[in-house]
Amino acid sequence: MAPNGSLISKEELVKLSAGLRLDNTDTVYFLPSFIEEPWKGMKAVPAFPQA
């Protein structure tokens, strides 16, 4: 599921990973790492020092 709530099938993700050509001839690539949890495995750090 995309952050906006849209469902994207595995087949559609594979298709998008090959690139999507836009009208201005740019090509956009979507990779699984773009939608996975970016903070996975990161150790929590206190925001403020403890007094």
How far apart, in whole angstroms, are the C-alpha atoms of residue 40 and residue 33? 11
Kindly state the tokens that stand for 29: 């690539």
Give the pLDDT of residue 34.
Answer: 63
Query: Residue 13's pLDDT band (boundaries 50, 70, 90)?
Result: confident
pLDDT in tens, 23-49: 888 998 877 666 667 677 888 888 887
- pLDDT tier at 14 (50, 70, 90 boundaries)? confident
Answer for the pair 27, 19: CB distance below 8 angstroms, yes or no.
yes
DSSP 14-44: HHHHT-EE-TTS-EE---GGGTS-TTTTPPP
Q: Is the pLDDT of residue 20 over 70?
A: yes
